[in-house]
A and B are shown apart, each in its own frame.
Chain A
Amino acid sequence: MIATSTDPAPQANEPEAIVIRGTSATKRVLSRNTSERLMGLVAPVGLFVLWEVFADIHVIDTRFFPAPSSIAGTFGTLIKNGQLLANTTISLERLFFGFLLGAIPALIIGLTMGLYRPVRALVEPLIQGTYPIPKSAILPLILLIFGLGEPSKIVMVAIGVFYPVVINTVSGVLQIPKIYLDVGHNFGANRWNMFTTIALPGALPFIMTGVKLGAGLGLILIAIAEMIGAQSGLGYMIWNAWQILSVNTMYVGLIMIALVGFALTAILNEVERLLIPARHDR
């Protein structure tokens, strides 16, 4: 039967064909990525605008929430008088050396534990047993042992970095399919080669996850350590600002720590991209 325009409703016993039409144009102006990134900016910018407005008309208490514009002013002052740079530099230094002191042993111990069962059996209980202790709770002991100088801060960071790196390195080695170890043995890899050509590269994605977690924990711990046992650094700057009730300075310190954390993540992501080409150029 041929349907005509005067007969728009098809009869029950003659089902209509399902037609899927192609459209020639994709209507998106911005790529999805760009538009999502722009949307991500809406919330923080909006918050700052509201904050500024509410502070100006005194809806919120500016003793606790000074207007963003006034925080920016303090930021400028602290940059000019060099305080911000000096405190940031010293915190970064401690973070850097603490990171090396924690991550390098963690890597070596983790790879050895992953490759050698007896070593794992021997060391794992120690790590499992000490891991749950809050790292900040060890600070007094660390201050007692290492004094108020630089070593205590560096050791605090190192302890924070050590655990996530060692734990992730062990899991990283253990998840390497056994066939790769067979290949290593069959093609004459010695112990050192097993570490460098199989365990380390095979576990690298896990290790990088541990390193990122460790860096975050290190940042937390350096702030805490500097609040209690230091006369310099961003943590000290925030704590000191509380003591002299310079709320603006406190916010500047918080923003600076956030920026350091942000930069650290960006750098580590880039390092990961360079170290694990097989993972990212797909």
Chain B
Amino acid sequence: MIAAQAAPAKIRFEDVGKTFEIRTGPVTAIEQISLDIPAGSFFVIVGPSGCGKTTLLRMAAGLETPTRGTITIARERSDRPANSMIFQGESIFPWMTVFDNAAYGLRMRNAPASEINDVVGHYLSRTGLTKFAKAYPHQLSGGMKQRVSIARAFANDPEVLLMDEPFSALDEQNKTLLQEELLRIWEETKKTVLFITHSVDEAVTLGDQIMVMTAQPGRAKAIIDVPFPRPRKVLELRAEPAYGELVYHIWGQLRDEVLAAKAGEAAEVAGALR
């Protein structure tokens, strides 16, 4: 087990594994992961595609069940939802306005209207969406839609935030803007975040700690501390030589896994063609 710092664990993975049953037999997505994520930290998992990182996150979200081990999320308040997820791709409801989308979690737990107005209003303004409160998603750009998704998750005031490659579908400029906005909003709340990405740049920009995962079946390969102080400015940070060195170091850890994942894919395709 790779222990993090002395801070109390907010999310604890103990011996967690997941095996899927598919037609050709069992496939192990995650072999065995034990991990403590300290309260208030921004924890990033990077890994090659298909390494099971999304599965790990979905299990923490309760959308999938581990086939072994336990996941514990420490609770501070019983009236709070355990987690809220920012999904990859389009996940805001096209049939609801921006406001109704952002208010979804609060409405589902019957929060009073005044609280909904205050909280949702706050996060819409933090994400620059106040003017668009009454707009429908099809009127928004991809970046704006993802801002709604961010506002929805923060407004729900969960114990932990789970983010599944939320910016992977955005162009480079929007991605940088949204990373900066996410950092700004997060630094106000200091909620524990578990963030999944395949981008080393994104991991170093956002995270306090980065876990590198192995190619399928997924295991923890290394946990790396990110020493940069907060609040962070994305562009300034990227200009630092130390930033480049860290990215290079993590790439070194990841390279073998990406190659292994590619080899696995190639073998699969060859098998299918045979």
Name A's B-contacting residues (CB within 8 A): 177, 179-180, 182-183, 185-190, 193, 197-198, 201-202, 204, 276-278, 281-282
Contacts and interface: CB of A to CB of B under 8 A. Distances in A.
B105 A278 contact: no
B105 A188 contact: yes
B87 interface: yes
Contact of A189 (B90, B91, B108): B108
B83 A186 contact: yes
A220 B96 CA distance: 36
Contacts of B273: none
Q: Give me the 7 closest cross-chain CB pairs, A-B, nearest first.
A: A201-B95, A187-B105, A278-B136, A188-B108, A186-B85, A179-B91, A189-B108
B95 A188 contact: no
B199 to A, nearest CB: 21
A281 B97 CA distance: 12
B89 interface: yes
Interface of B: 61-63, 81, 83-85, 87, 89-91, 93-96, 104-105, 108-109, 136-139, 152, 156
A278 B109 contact: no
Residue in A182, A183, A189, A198 whose Cβ sees the most chain B Cβ within 10 Å: A183
B77 to A, nearest CB: 15
B108 A278 contact: no
B91 A278 contact: no
B91 A183 contact: yes
A183 B137 contact: no
21 contacts: A177-B90, A179-B90, A182-B85, A183-B85, A183-B87, A183-B91, A185-B62, A186-B63, A186-B83, A187-B104, A187-B105, A187-B108, A187-B156, A193-B108, A197-B93, A197-B96, A201-B93, A201-B96, A204-B95, A278-B95, A278-B137
Given A187-B84, A188-B105, A278 B94 contact: yes
Contacts of B87: 179, 182-183
Contacts of B62: 185-186
Contacts of B136: 277-278, 281
A179 B95 contact: no
A278 B62 CA distance: 31
A95 to B, nearest CB: 29
B84 A186 contact: yes
A207 to B, nearest CB: 12
Contacts of A182: 63, 85, 87, 91
B95 A202 contact: yes
Contacts of A186: 61-63, 83-85
Given A179-B90, A186-B85, A276 B95 contact: yes
Contacts of A204: 95
B138 A278 contact: yes
A276 B109 CA distance: 25
A180 B85 CA distance: 12
A251 to B, nearest CB: 44
A197 B152 CA distance: 15
A177 B138 CA distance: 16
Nearest to B100: A197
Contacts of B89: 179
B141 to A, nearest CB: 14
Nearest to B136: A278
A278 B135 CA distance: 9
B54 to A, nearest CB: 12
Contacts of B85: 182-183, 186
Contacts of A201: 93, 95-96
Nearest to A205: B95
Contacts of B137: 278
Residue in B108, B136, B137 whose Cβ sees the most chain A Cβ within 10 Å: B108
A193 to B, nearest CB: 6
A188 B81 contact: yes
A209 B152 CA distance: 32
Nearest to A180: B93
Contacts of A190: 108
A201 B156 CA distance: 22
A183 B109 contact: no
Contacts of B90: 177, 179
Residue in B61, B94, B152, B156 whose Cβ sees the most chain A Cβ within 10 Å: B94
Contacts of A183: 85, 87, 91, 93, 104
A202 B92 CA distance: 12
Given A180-B93, A204-B95, 5 more contacts: A179-B91, A182-B87, A189-B108, A201-B95, A278-B95
Contacts of B139: 282
A179 B104 CA distance: 15
Contacts of A187: 81, 84, 104-105, 108, 152, 156
B100 to A, nearest CB: 9
